Structure 1
């Protein structure tokens, strides 16, 4: 276990696996109310081939639990600061659920200069039917909630029935084959996120619309979806169609194809990642300072 302190004083817990001499570095971002430990089943399969970085985002898992910074943009800044701390100049990035939103925010704010490739796991580009979305547009993007529904959803995590709300939400994201032991472990990881901080972060997450970011992504991208996920796989197909050159892989129910394929069936998940990553060119190193001063930053989203 290692820790890093962000500029605004939040300690982030992170973990490094694999060899530091590996050609590729893969950075894993978990979802809302999850933790880096949920990747622990798939990491050994990936660390044989890549250097793997996983970390608990602020408010989650073993990281600090501040009362400030419950915003996707702050989480994107945390990622940028962590990359600087670890001297990571180029990496492949995987974002699961809300972690994908953090990556979209990172690209929007910082561009793709440090991004070799992108892996998006089961996240709609818009979660809520926002005022400028008609029903057809909302369905394509994968929006699940309307405004009243978003309010009720967020309030549920701080209300008198918060424990059952959290458990029921977790169950809705898993296959029916999940064992009781695994369900209980996942639930305890969920409970590490404070309800108040989590509710504020969730609302910020639900109000984002990342559709304008998708067509401006200029790095190789893989979109992963689940056949029986609560996120309609058709929305993930639509996202892949918006990202230039993106690939799509939909996991079947037998492959753990709900929201946590990397946890329920890590083997096919790891195979899909390796197939994508090993087909990518070797990461390019950052330009020397004298060259960088004459060359515009690559991939800044405009």
Structure 2
């Protein structure tokens, strides 16, 4: 299915089920098919599940005219409004989690947020050592060009998802260079204070063997804000939900049931 944004870009999405809504948000260069295990699981639980591809990704329209992070947040907002979604739970992976953080910085109509292996602040500073690899204000532009050399998973994706994801990547290849400015914009964002002050229930899930982040970044936030819970998972890399889907889905289930009253 296609949805047209206010600036005329066609966003490809799937809307399945009829229960309480959950919106799954992919990361940089991602495909909505990465959520296959969560879609099936949530539908079995009786939820309404919405997945979509960001502009310039997956089967959504390619257009390089608006490379801002704010536009991705607005795309999510417009999709939610267009589909008449009320009090959704947002689940974002990697950059998709940052899109969710950006969303709750502007809008108060969500029931909860799950952020998957995404630090709230990408750039390391003297008082923040939990950024992306060794990225800092001086070198992040160069690092952003070459982070594709990192092997994102620990032991590969669950074999049941590989074929479908491979087909989508072949059909709709991602042009990383075309989205370089967006990635830089992502690096420049700092969502620490948003999470530190939010009253929205948040679950931060980090991978102990993440190739990008020190998983301990979740500890400080969960201690600072009573609305934030956290979990650090073993035996997986950056793509937690597609590497160890059973373990991830148990955390997802617990968070959804705990916050179901907020979706009434």
Please report how far the alpha carbon of residue 179 of structure 1 lies from its aligned counterpart in structure 2 after TM superposition.
7.5
Residues 22-37 of structure 1 aligned to structure 2 (within 5 Å): 22=19, 24-37=20-33
After superposition, where does 1:1-302 map in structure 2 within 5 Å?
Answer: 2-18=1-17, 20=18, 22=19, 24-49=20-45, 50-109=47-106, 111-112=107-108, 114-129=109-124, 133-134=125-126, 137-140=127-130, 144-156=134-146, 166=148, 168-169=149-150, 171=151, 173-178=152-157, 182=162, 185=166, 188=169, 192-230=173-211, 231-253=213-235, 257-284=236-263
1:191 Cα deviation after fit: 7.1
Q: Deviations over 1:220-260 (max 9, x none)?
A: 1111111111211101222333433311111111xxx3111
Q: 1:61 to 1:34 in 2, by over 3 A?
A: same
**Contact 2:59 2:172 (C-alpha < 8 Å) held by counterparts:** no
State the number of aligned residues: 260
Q: Which runs of 5+ in 2 are unaligned?
A: none
Structure 1 moving runs of 4+ over 6 Å? none
Q: Secondary structure at the match of 2:27?
A: coil
Which of the pair has more CA radius of gyration?
1
1:70 alignment partner, SS class? coil
Aligned to 1:160: none
The C-alpha deviation readout for 1:48-80, integer Å capped at 9, x for no partner, is 121111100111100111112211111000011
Task: Return the alpha-carbon distance in structure 2 between the equivalents of residues 194 and 140 of structure 1.
Answer: 28
- Report if aligned partners of 1:123, 1:236 keep a CA contact under 8 Å in 2: no
Q: Equivalents in 2 of 1:98, 1:190: separation in Å?
A: 22
Query: Partners of 2:170 and 2:181 in 1: how far apart?
Result: 19
Cα 1:66–1:56 shift into 2, 3 Å: same
**Normalising by the residue count of structure 1, what TM-score does the alignment of the two structures yield?**
0.79
Any idea what SS the aligned residue of 1:79 has? Answer: helix
Is the Cα contact below 8 Å between 1:174 and 1:258 reproduced in 2? yes
8 Å Cα contact 2:32/2:58 also seen in 1: yes
Residue 190 of structure 1 and its aligned partner are, at CA, apart by 11
Deviation at 1:178, TM superposition (A): 4.7
Gaps of 5+ in 1: 157-164, 286-302
